[in-house]
Structures are given as structure tokens and as C-alpha cells.
Amino acid sequence: MYKMAQQRYACLTDLNGYFKKSDLLSGLSELEKSQLRTNIGILNYTGEGGQSAPVELTYSALYDLVVRKTLVTGARYIITDYQTIYSSNVLNSSSRKITWGTSDSVNPSPIYKLLVIANSNDRLDSRAMILDEVGKNWIVEYNIQREVLPDDKTTKGKITFLKDSNGNSAYYDFKNIKFRRTQSELEGSNNPILTPYIDLYTFSDITNGTVVENSNLYMTKYNTLEENCWNNVFIGDTYSNIIQSGCQGNTFLKGIHDSVLSWNSVNNLFNENVCYCTGSIYNKKILPGDSSLSMTITKTIHKVNEATIVSYLDPITYAYQIIIIR
């Protein structure tokens, strides 16, 4: 993460080098100026000078400017209709992934105003800012490139990095993207669903069958999902975790904290809380009542031949103990 911070700082230095602070901040409200200073590193704006207000236009209109190479270098543009549109983990009758996020889909994403800055006549800076109140403290990176999805619907670009005010971060829009879990996938769990399926956010809370996005809650914080993490769902208190690259298809029904889920941990169902764990685990179902990963001591998960083993130092005898996860 330190290396990433260095790389981002270098980008901020470059941006300050060829845009005037007054040019970037003129025409914005005080709240928008504060957001922009925080998100893209403009810290000491003096208020002098200025240029015209940002240009408001639809995604399609701005994308057309990119394609035709007619952006104005240094200009600010507001995409008025940005929406996270994505391929879900659900297939249609043709075995193609169904698109979610559009206003007419089963899981529509909200529409945001997104402020972006042109680096050249055909390129936008990756850093962006959501102007709506809900995203005022988020750090956002955005790629305007239009993508054709498997069912032939198209995106409006995509958020490629998001970090919220609770210190949760991922390389996708974890605030709005949902993942489906079916009854069969949750069979034997302590959180059964009454419908054939349920669509969940990365960080979810379920109350009386209603799903809400809970990454803004106090006990959902400081979670880092690295690149290529996808289709992971966390229900309940989830804090101080690193989910390493390649971890996909994991469901935590009682949360996880103070843990590192190592590279390529896939397709696991955890019915009990996971804490103080480090290691990779594959295709396992931790059943209700199984405390192998819930003990409040430091544990390491190993893959030995075909066995998955949890090792820890017994706090009373100081002897190493081993549990085999079936």
C-alpha cells in the first residue's frame, strides 16, 4: 500500500505542474472546491484568477469528444448521467451474463454527477469527483472507455478505484455493484433466505429480509480489497482486513476482522465470524458452530497436499495446535 501511495503522489505532483490551481477550482462551490482539494491534491488554493465553469454534458456527449479528440486540455467536465453498469454473476437463457445497473434492470445503480478533468484532447485524468452529497468524501478513479457487455448492453465507463470515508477501498464501485447468492449456495447456513435468491452488496446488512449497503456503518471500516477481487460478500461487522488479489466468490455471513485473506482464496462459505487469520483457503464451507476460524488468537491457514490446516499457538501450553478443516 505504501508503494501505491507513492505512485499516486507522483501523479498529483504532475497534475499540479501543468494545471493552475485557480483554473481547476474556479466555478465550483466551496463544498466542491474542498472535495477536489482532498481528492486530487490541491491543498493551498488562494482563490485568484479563474476560468469558466465546468461544462455539463451527458456521458455519450463527453465520450464523443474523447473519440473525436476535441477535449480542451485542462478543462473540467461534469458527466450528468453517470451510472455504474456492469455484468452480474447471473446468466440469461443464452448463458450470457445479465447486465445490472441500468435504470430498467432488477438492480439499478443511482445516477451521479461526476467531475473529470481533461489531460489532453483525447484523455481524461483518472481521478474524478462525485458531486452528489453521498460521495462527497470518497476518493474516486474513473475510466471513460465504453465497454460492450456480454448481453450487448454498454457501460458509461466505470469506476476503477473507490475509497470511502471509513477507509474501505476496492478497484470497483463496491457501493452499488451487487452479487447474487442462491438458496443452494447458502444451504446449511445459519442465515437461510426465504426466496430462491438474494442480491447482496460487497458490504451488506440484512434486516427483515431487506438488504442495505452498510460500508458507511461504524463497524465496517479499514477493509482493503486488492485488484481482481470480485464477487465477495461480507455481512455483519467487517473491519481491518486485507483481501488479496484473486479472491473471489467468498461469502462471510457473520463478518471478518483483523485478517488477511491471501491470494486466490475462492468459493468459500463462512457461517461463523472469521478473525485474526492469515492464509489462503479454497472451496470450503465452515458450518454453523465450527469455531476453527473464530478463536480470538492469531491463526495461519495452510494448504498441505490436499488438506487445509489451521495452526495456532496455544495461549496456555505455548504448544502449536493444528485443526484440519474438512
Q: pLDDT-derived band of residue 206, with 50, 70 and 90 as boundaries? A: confident
48: which residues sit within 8 A by CB, 6+ positions away? Answer: 22
Q: pLDDT-derived band of residue 31, with 50, 70 and 90 as boundaries? A: low
Give the Cβ contact number of residue 131 at 10 Å.
22
Give the Cβ contact number of residue 96 at 10 Å.
14
Q: Which residues pair with 273 in a beta bridge?
A: none
CA 65 to chain centre: 28
Q: pLDDT-derived band of residue 166, with 50, 70 and 90 as boundaries? A: very high
Which pLDDT belongs to residue 24? 57
Q: Which tens digits make up the pLDDT trace of 59-76?
A: 999 999 999 999 999 999
Kindly report the CA angle at 250 between 88 and 107, in degrees rounded to 5? 25
Q: Which tens digits make up the pLDDT trace of 219-250?
A: 999 999 999 999 999 998 999 999 999 999 99
CA–CA distances in Å: residue 127 to residues 9, 31, 216, 306: 12, 17, 22, 44
Domain edges within the chain? 2-163, 178-325
Which grid coordinates belong to 279?
492464509
CA 46 to chain centre: 34
Q: Which amino acid is at 5?
A: A
Beta-sheet strands, E only, within 144-209: 158-163, 169-170, 178-182, 197-201, 203-207
